[in-house]
Amino acid sequence: METTKRQSQAKLLRNFRKIHRITGALLFVFFFVVSVTGGLLGWKKNSGGMIMANSYKGRSTDLKEWLSIDSLHQRACQYLKDSVSAHLSTKIDRIDIRKEKGMVKFVFSEHFTGLQLDGVTGHLLHVEKRRADYIEKIHDGSIIDFYLGWDGYFKLFYTTIMSLALALFTITGFWLWYGPKRMRQHP
């Protein structure tokens, strides 16, 4: 009876090792990409402006002194055309109002450019390459959707596969650690 139980435990351990090894081999590149991009994203605010641009300060934090959002938007689009490229899309992804900095950040949806404008004067404070956004899209798989024009389907598939694989790795990894201990305790 004990021999059968031990053989059953050994077989389970071999199966878990095989699942762990095959999954690791199949998803090695994806796990590597997730780990590197995750590390970079963790460091983005401490990268000295290399990954995520520093936020520049505008003239005033008093919103009563600021230009209208429409006026700032028009200026941002003009600065994009004049200072970056006349060929880039002016379609906005989001507008970040940084009241405490006296600055408004315009992020464009079809490229990785951001503009920081003074809220009061509308002057251009900084043109940034949105490297953190690019890295984030690689990290979550949405870079494929971005370039192919898909509506988030690849990201959904990719994150589902990666989350299931991580759960599988956790379970099989735990058993690969615990299983031999259990077998030694119950010979």
**pLDDT tens for each residue of 6-60:** 788 888 888 888 888 888 888 899 999 999 999 999 999 999 999 999 999 999 9
pLDDT tens by residue, 132-170: 999 999 999 999 999 999 999 999 999 999 999 999 988
Closest CA to 56 of 124, 132, 133, 134: 124
CA 185-4-12 angle, to 5 degrees, is: 70
pLDDT tens by residue, 73-100: 999 999 999 999 999 999 999 999 999 9
Predicted TM-score (pTM) of this structure = 0.82
Burial class (CB in 10 A: 0-12, 13-18, 19+), 130: buried
* H or E element in which residue 157 lies: helix 153-185
Torsion of the alpha carbons at 13, 16, 17 and 18, rounded to the nearest 10:
120
